[in-house]
Structure 1
Amino acid sequence: MRWGVVATVKAPTQAVLNFAAHHLELGADHLFIYLDERNDVSQSLLAAHPKITVTRTNQAYWTADGKKRPPKHQVRQSRNANHAYAQASDIDWLMHMDVDEFLWPQTHSVRALLCETPSSAQVARVRPVEALAPMHSQTDNISHFKAWISAKQGRAERSRSVYPTFGPYLRGGFLSHVQGKIFVRTGLEGMSIRIHNAFLNDVENPNSVELQNIDLCHFHATDWAEWTQTLAYRHKKGSYRAEMRAALPESQGGLTLHVLFDQLQKENGIRDFFEEVCLATPKHLKALQTHGLLRSYDMALDTSRQKHFPSFQA
């Protein structure tokens, strides 16, 4: 059982190499990396690896099929994922994910988990855990995450308990997606991959299963400076854009994150939000642990990067 990853990346070279090296270390048989903007250093280092196909998505790439470069990055991601899918004949499963997401199997290898899926399965979903920003006083390399829980597991109630001020506006305390990302079985004619889902001849997520004992570790808000730098973009075009749905209907007091952040910026409340929802304070960690929602992993990203890309100096 061979598996691979496709990602469209727009990130510093170290982040790109961390992503690639981590999944190579997990046993990925091939990576398809699409550079959303020019990065000669990343391109050179990735292209030198025998298990990586790197594509610079320049004007020639986008117009090769008679189309234009899509203005929305989500559409570019999907186009690239389907471009990779068409080339992925030597692997059995292809995972579409982002550069700030890292698979983390807990008991078995990724390959073993995929081998356990029914032969009829065509889509295999991995649910997310969302990273917390470390405190400045943290001295170890442990990454802490809040775990995903389903609505049936009391998601709304637990979210309010852990996040008394902002919980009602969040899905399980998550800033970003709760859908996770998917592996798609290769070689299926008519398959079309999106961000969180796939369609086979207009059937959404056909014969879908959820993989157990594996997390999609999502580093959505790694620190205050990084998060505030990306806030405006995400508010306009990304995770917090206006068309995203609220966790609760407006009639029940719900607000979209787009509206909530508009209000908080007027009230100087963005920092309060970050400290309650994103920061790995002792109080936050204890609350997550009490509800069985704390995940803590040493991902050794530097070690993997140095192993697979030894010529790169951070």
Structure 2
Amino acid sequence: MASWGVVALVDEPAVLLAAHAAHHLAAGAAEVHLWLDRPDPEATDLLGAVAGVHLHHAGEDGWAFQGGGQRPKLHTARQKYIASKTLAETRLDWVMHCDADEFLTAPGGSVAEVLGAAPAALDWVAVDVAERVQIGGRAGADIFAGAFRRPWRAFATEGAEVFAAAAREYLHHGIAGHHNGKCCARAGRGLFVGVHHGLKTWAGERAPAHGSLPGLRLLHFDGLTELHYLLKILRRAQGGVPGAPSRHSAARLVQIAAVAGRAGDAQRLHRIWRLAKTLDRPQAAALETRGVLSHDAPGIAQCLEAQLGFCPDLSPAAFDRALIARERDLLESLRAEFGFDPESLA
């Protein structure tokens, strides 16, 4: 069996970082590398003594690995940096690069077995994504509840059979977030790691020897709560670079424009969230029939209990409180620019 680990650049409430680490350790990861994009004493207190978790501060090496010692301005460039550095320095067989809200699984098997059986010619594999969605148009009892929809190849031609036009404009391949998956790279082959791909050169030339492993799946919690989703979207509306090519799908750009344009209207924001991130029961049944909706049960609470000796509060309300406390500066800027008030969502 292959040895493997996970690397992520993180800037989220500590409970999510703990869940991310606990899940991957339970799945067999030998190492979980969490690079803090800003200091986080709560995460350090919670995870500092957990065996297998390696906490780093982004920039602790003076950005000396690549880039001439300068902190990359773009979040995606910092992701590329920490993932490539971790891959270059690891003694493991494989390194999976993903975000704090993405959880690697191997339904019906083990990650180590699937990677161990990968053809030797593959330098990296793209792990297919499954996006969490809420059923019944409302949030679950905890932040990890829900089902998972996978990219739907026939969405362009058959999507109207399941989704109204108002929802279809927010979806790309039938999901609201990215459909490309993330990169799991084999160590020792001189690769670099982009956001979604293994790279042959630092400049971005994609490494050609790659494939996918159907035994692996990446569970993507694209918005743990309604507030979390809206902040993620508004951050992108705020962070645009004039004249730069978009890295978002057309559907994601529609979401960004819709949320930014009605950020002061709580009812409208809730409707956008429902259209983009929830299914009613007939829709869920239709996607199940088409084989693109599953009910994976990652068991995050049990993983946290095993690693920490207790399970933090995983309720949406508790997560939102932590998010508001952590993102005070962001919320002030969003209030000033877009008129967004998180209290109105309640």
The equivalent residue for 1:78 is 80
**RMSD of the TM alignment (CA)?**
2.9
Q: How does 1:127-206 map to 2 (within 5 A)?
A: 127-133=128-134, 136=138, 142-149=145-152, 153-165=153-165, 166-189=167-190, 191-201=191-201, 203-206=205-208
Separation in structure 2 between the aligned mates of residue 247 and residue 172 of structure 1, nearest angstrom: 11
Whether contact under 8 Å (1:162, 1:287) holds in the other structure is yes
Q: How does 1:22-61 map to 2 (within 5 A)?
A: 22-58=23-59, 60-61=60-61
Which residue identity lines up with residue 163 of structure 1 in the other structure?
A: F
Which residue identity lines up with residue 230 of structure 1 in the other structure?
A: K
Separation in structure 2 between the aligned mates of residue 229 and residue 137 of structure 1, nearest angstrom: 16
Deviations 1:203-242 (A, max 9, x none): 413211111032211000333232223331033338xx97
The equivalent residue for 1:273 is 272
How far the C-alpha of 1:197 sits from its partner, in A, is: 0.8
How far the C-alpha of 1:175 sits from its partner, in A, is: 1.7
How far the C-alpha of 1:64 sits from its partner, in A, is: 4.8
Q: 1:263 to 1:207 in 2, by over 3 A?
A: same
Separation in structure 1 between the aligned mates of residue 63 and residue 230 of structure 2, nearest angstrom: 35
Q: How does 1:94-133 map to 2 (within 5 A)?
A: 94-133=95-134
Deviations 1:118-161 (A, max 9, x none): 11110111111111135558569752111123xxx423123333
Greater CA deviation, 17-26 or 126-135? Answer: 126-135
How far the C-alpha of 1:20 sits from its partner, in A, is: 0.3
Separation in structure 2 between the aligned mates of residue 95 and residue 204 of structure 1, nearest angstrom: 16
Whether contact under 8 Å (1:104, 1:214) holds in the other structure is yes
Whether contact under 8 Å (1:163, 1:277) holds in the other structure is no
Deviations 1:89-143 (A, max 9, x none): x211110000000112112100111112111110111111111135558569752
Separation in structure 1 between the aligned mates of residue 92 and residue 42 of structure 2, nearest angstrom: 27
Gapped regions of structure 1 (runs ≥ 5): 249-253
Separation in structure 1 between the aligned mates of residue 308 and residue 215 of structure 2, nearest angstrom: 29
The equivalent residue for 2:303 is 304
Greater CA deviation, 288-297 or 111-120? Answer: 288-297
The equivalent residue for 1:251 is none
Whether contact under 8 Å (1:34, 1:55) holds in the other structure is yes
Whether contact under 8 Å (2:132, 2:222) holds in the other structure is yes
Deviations 1:7-30 (A, max 9, x none): 111111111010000000000111
Q: How does 1:208-223 map to 2 (within 5 A)?
A: 208-223=210-225
Name the % identity: 23
Q: How many residues align?
A: 301
How far the C-alpha of 1:77 sits from its partner, in A, is: 1.0
Q: 1:24 to 1:308 in 2, by over 3 A?
A: same
The TM-score, its normalising length taken from structure 2, stands at: 0.77
What SS is found at the alignment partner of 2:185?
A: strand
Whether contact under 8 Å (1:132, 1:222) holds in the other structure is no
How far the C-alpha of 1:168 sits from its partner, in A, is: 4.4
What SS is found at the alignment partner of 1:17?
A: helix
